[in-house]
Amino acid sequence: MYTYQTKIKLHETDAAGVLFFSNQFKLVHDAYECVLESIGFGFAELLNNKSFFLPIVHAEADFKMPLFVGDSIEIQVYTTHVGQTSFALSYNLLNPKQELVGTAKTVHVTVDKITKNKISLPKDMRGKVQELYKQDNK
């Protein structure tokens, strides 16, 4: 499991100061970027030095409880599947009381930068993602 910490900002809320629903995806994507960075595949590395992209081909989220401006939150990121060409991550969003306030899931597919065709997950990245998977599912 990877843990990401952040705080709910005013621009992420609606007029009532409650997290705007689509911003749950923004928050989990921020956590996803940090996960990639932690395993050596940050976006700068992917864009500048790798021959593949990792587009999201499926995303889902569930709202459980509201979050408000100033709330410190924790996002727990779990690898839930590693396939031949893709992997899936699941996210738990926790409020300051460690209550589950939302969940999300994203599926990422490996795509060749030039051809835009789906390709096998590169060996070096596969190892890192599988390592996270093993840690998450012990």
Report, as residue numbers or ranges, the catalytic residues: 14
Residue 55's SS3 state is coil
Largest CA distance in the chain: 47
- Intra-chain end-to-end CA distance of the chain, in Å: 10
**Residue 4 φ then ψ, to 5°:** -120, 135
